[in-house]
Amino acid sequence: MGKRADRGGDAAREELTLRPMTARDLNAVAQIFEADTGAAPPAGFREHLSALVKSGGAVFVAIGGREVVGYVAGEIRSWEFGSPPAGWVFALAVKPSWQRFGTGRALLARAVEALRKAGVRAVRTMVSREDVAVLRFFRREGFVAGPYTELELTFGGRAR
């Protein structure tokens, strides 16, 4: 990628690079997920990422120094109610110390480009209406409301 970012502290500058995710990255990805959400990854998360790694999905990590500092995961789906194939970005997270330096933007761009090269004409994601910062991020990257509306039926309480 070539973007350099000041990490503070001793004012050392480290190079950020992107590469395809490997099975060896899954523990670091799970740690970043937990740091980002405050919860362990849901059941099946690692297995789904592992399958995408094996099949060559749009899964990438950002390396800062010698460690994984962020990740993105996307795939092509074409089964939702007869919709044409579309790319889906379903996971994107960056370690807090690497946020606001273009790490997330670079990861998203890499996944979007991989999905575009795979032949899709659109890339989608889902974001909580209440997560203004994440909505703002995706909007800055060109994402807008798509042609579908998510509907939800909840049990034992009101939908948010």
What integer pLDDT is reported at residue 147 of this predicted model? 87
Give the closest residue to 93 by CA, choosing from 151, 152, 137, 146.
137
- The CATH class of the 4-140 domain is alpha beta
User: 43: how many CB neighbours lie within 10 A of its CB?
Assistant: 8
Q: Enumerate the domain spans of the chain.
A: 4-140
E strand segments, the chain: 4-6, 13-20, 58-64, 67-77, 86-94, 123-124
State pLDDT tens for residues 64-76: 989 999 999 999 9
Query: 60 phi and psi, to 5 degrees?
Result: -140, 155
Tokens of 76: 């092509």
pLDDT in tens, 67-122: 999 999 999 998 777 788 999 999 999 999 999 999 999 999 999 999 999 999 99
Classify 62 as helix, strand or coil. strand
pLDDT tops 50 at residue 17: yes
Tokens of 86: 């579309």
